[in-house]
Amino acid sequence: MTQVLLIPVKSNHEKLQKIVEIATHYFDKNEKITFLVENEMSASYIDKLLWSSPKESFLPHGGELISILQVLPTETQTIFNLTSEPLTDIERGTIYEFDDQTSEHKQQAFKTRYSAYKAKRFSIALQ
């Protein structure tokens, strides 16, 4: 079964903190996570963020545990969706989604993704 974990955020700073926090969590557990992004610019931004955070170290990525991709991988069980589209083709695993309250446009995009997950009967919970 697919589980969607919603992360409410009200600022861009909160989003960046959560990305680093969740990447660190999976890295420390030695488990894979994929950050799915819209484009090369977003991929580069996340790449730089993970190389510079947390401040006392960095998060190795681009290898086995943490990856940043523009195309949905076939084998990853945990995906942090940073795109505007819902991931309804996932049959099982965990999807992280921002409940992005930084703008009305982003809130509407979230509601669309949420409705798609609900229609697929995915398990939905707050993170």
Q: Identify the CATH number of the domain in which residue 96 sits.
A: 3.40.50.10110
Q: Which domain holds residue 45?
A: 2-126
Over pLDDT 70: what percentage of the chain? 92
pLDDT digits (tens, 9 = 90+) for 67-119: 999 999 887 789 999 999 999 998 889 999 999 999 999 999 999 999 999 99
Type and span of the H or E element at 48 = helix 40-52
pLDDT digits (tens, 9 = 90+) for 7-25: 999 999 999 999 999 999 9
Q: What is the tally of structural domains in the chain?
A: 1
What's the mean pLDDT when you consider all of the chain? 91
Q: Is the pLDDT of residue 56 over 70?
A: no
For the chain, state the CA radius of gyration.
14
Type and span of the H or E element at 54 = none
